[in-house]
Structures are given as structure tokens and as C-alpha cells.
């Protein structure tokens, strides 16, 4: 069992470390750089070359049955779910075989709408304490389910 973290712009790295350490699970933090390696012996820091989807490709090539992937990247989540991994978004939302198709379609639709209206303003919701709490609970449940 390994927890893979798509670490660029991930707001829950500390929470992953806390829960992963409690469960004595190997954790792999993958990024393009700018991440300080942890002294925690359960954490491996992987720095991939710059480029589109390099970190995503690295994770997708390795994640599978019995692993957990932490990402907000929906195409990466789709690839990992297809490989049998459990996937959690930063807010604790589980991406599963049952919902990933719908989530991917919604993402694509929103990208098309943004492209069609370049003056469209707004961004995603801000990350809240409730999101962090839901994430901690979801990761705890995911690790227990795998064991």
C-alpha cells in the first residue's frame, strides 16, 4: 500500500503525512520541484522534470490496486481509478468507478464554457477547515478499507 500525492498545489500534504505515519504507510510526494523533502522515513520525495503532465504520468504508471492517490487533477484521477487505486480530492471527495465519468464530463464542459467566454470571471471555492476535516476523515476511512 502506498499513498501517492500529486503535490503541486496540494493543500493537504501535512495531513497526508500525519495519517500515513499513524498507519505506517509508505507515502510518495511527487512534484516538479519547490517541495522540501521530509525527514520522515516513510516519505519519498520524487521531483520530476518540468513539463505538462510529467508528475501525473509518473503517478499513473505506478498507482494501482491497494494504493491511494491524492489529487485534484481529474484526468489523473480517471487514470488511477481505472488502474484500481482509490482516489481522493483535497476536500475528501472520493473519485470512484461510479462517479469518475460524470466528474470528467463536468470538468470538460466547464473548460469548454470558459474557453467560449474569455471574460468569464471566478475561480474555485476557497479551501476551508471543513474541507480539511473531510479530507482527514476520508483518508482515514480509505486506509482502513484497504487493510
Cell numbers at 119, concatenated = 471574460
The pTM for the full model equals 0.88
Convert the pLDDT of each residue in 24-52 to its tens digit. 999 999 999 888 899 999 999 999 998 88
3-state secondary structure 76-116: HHHHHHHCCCEEECCCCCEECCCCHHHHHHHHHHHHHHHHH
Cβ-based neighbour number of residue 139 at 10 Å: 24
Mean pLDDT of 47-66: 94
Q: Which class would CATH give 2-121+129-146? A: alpha beta
Query: What's the pLDDT score for residue 51?
Result: 85
For the chain, the C-alpha Rg in angstroms (whole number) is 15
Is the confidence at residue 121, as pLDDT, over 80? no
In this prediction, residue 52 carries a pLDDT of 83
CA distance 104 to 122: 20
Percentage of the chain surpassing pLDDT 90? 67
Amino acid at each position: 500500500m502506498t499513498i501517492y500525492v500529486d503535490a503541486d498545489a496540494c493543500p493537504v500534504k501535512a495531513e497526508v503525512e500525519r495519517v500515513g505515519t499513524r498507519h505506517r504507510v509508505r507515502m510518495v510526494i511527487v512534484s516538479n520541484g519547490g517541495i522540501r523533502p521530509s525527514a520522515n522515513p516513510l516519505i519519498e520525495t520524487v521531483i520530476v522534470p518540468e513539463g505538462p503532465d510529467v508528475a501525473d504520468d509518473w503517478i499513473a504508471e505506478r498507482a494501482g490496486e491497494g494504493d491511494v492517490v491524492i489529487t485534484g487533477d481529474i484526468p489523473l484521477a480517471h487514470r488511477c481509478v481505472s488502474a484500481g487505486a482509490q482516489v481522493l480530492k483535497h476536500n475528501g471527495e472520493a473519485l470512484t468507478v461510479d462517479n469518475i465519468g460524470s466528474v470528467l464530463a463536468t470538468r470538460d464542459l466547464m473548460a469548454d464554457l470558459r474557453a467560449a467566454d474569455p471574460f468569464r470571471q471566478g475561480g474555485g471555492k476557497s479551501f476551508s477547515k471543513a474541507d480539511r476535516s473531510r479530507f482527514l476523515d476520508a483518508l482515514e476511512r480509505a486506509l482502513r478499507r484497504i487493510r
